[in-house]
Amino acid sequence: MPRLITGLDAARISANLERVKSEIADAGRDPGEVQILAAVKYVPLEEIGTLGEAGVSLLGENRAQDLEAKATAHPQFRWHFIGQLQSRKVKQIVPHVELIHSVATRSAVDQLAKHGTPQTHILLEVNIAGEAEKAGIKPEELPRFLELSPVKVVGLMTMPPYTSNPEESRPHFARLKELADEHGLHHLSMGTSQDFAVAAAEGATIVRIGTTLYT
């Protein structure tokens, strides 16, 4: 199990943030058009404040209980939920976030109908590669989910198959961008520490960065 990330240094994070922006620019994108989300699953509550000192403003948490605790303690940040969305956790998540990245089941949609508000915006998670062990709707299911969603769908999210070569993720990112364009959706959450530059080049509007920011 990965260890918690402790001993965060604001100056180092700030330098890493600027490096991420530079790589996004080198990929042909305006860094101002790509939101850099700091994934804080392994950042303990008492270290969160250091991210603000470093100039980070958007945080993403994977676990509902930790999101509730961290967002309550640090309302100065913008918060997104980026983990696998369990329908029974929707009620707990909704009050704390401006965006949920990972809606991929009918049961989650049903809970959003009960607990969502006009301010609740979501991304639909699409399993572009068709991996049996991974969450996400099939691309062909997208129109139906868009039709059924009781809250505003503003974009799509995907997690391509793990690879050490970022270029192998490019076709998956490109396909997600095609789907978003087909359905008039703006936001694309794709790309993590190992492949964010490729994701940005293919149209990401949000990249989810963890260890690259902290180390």
Q: Residue 53: helix, strand or coil by DSSP? A: helix
Region of poorest pLDDT, from 66-70, 120-124, 129-133, 145-149? 129-133
Q: Measure Cα distances from 98 to 71, 93, 101, 197 in Å.
A: 11, 10, 10, 24
Q: What's the CA gap between 157 and 185, in Å, rounded? A: 11
* Band of pLDDT at residue 132, cut at 50, 70 and 90: confident
Q: What's the CA gap between 54 and 11, in Å, rounded? A: 6
Residue 60's pLDDT is 98
Q: What's the CA gap between 145 and 147, in Å, rounded? A: 5
The count of other CB atoms within 10 Å of the CB of residue 46 is 10
* Band of pLDDT at residue 2, cut at 50, 70 and 90: low
Q: What's the CA gap between 177 and 11, in Å, rounded? A: 34
Which residue ranges form the domains of the chain, and what is each CATH number?
Answer: 10-214 (3.20.20.10)
- The sign of the dihedral angle between the CA atoms of 140, 191, 33, 28 is negative
pTM: 0.95
Q: Give the mean pLDDT of the chain.
A: 96
Tell me which residue of 96, 162, 152 sits closest to 123, measured CA to CA: 152
The count of other CB atoms within 10 Å of the CB of residue 118 is 7
The angle subtended at Cα 170 by Cα 3 and Cα 177, nearest 5°, is 105
pLDDT at 13 > cutoff 80: yes
Q: Which two tokens stand for residue 135?
A: 């969450």
Residue 3's pLDDT is 83
Residue 204's pLDDT is 98
pLDDT at 135 > cutoff 70: yes
* Band of pLDDT at residue 181, cut at 50, 70 and 90: very high
Tell how far CA 166 is from the center of its chain: 18
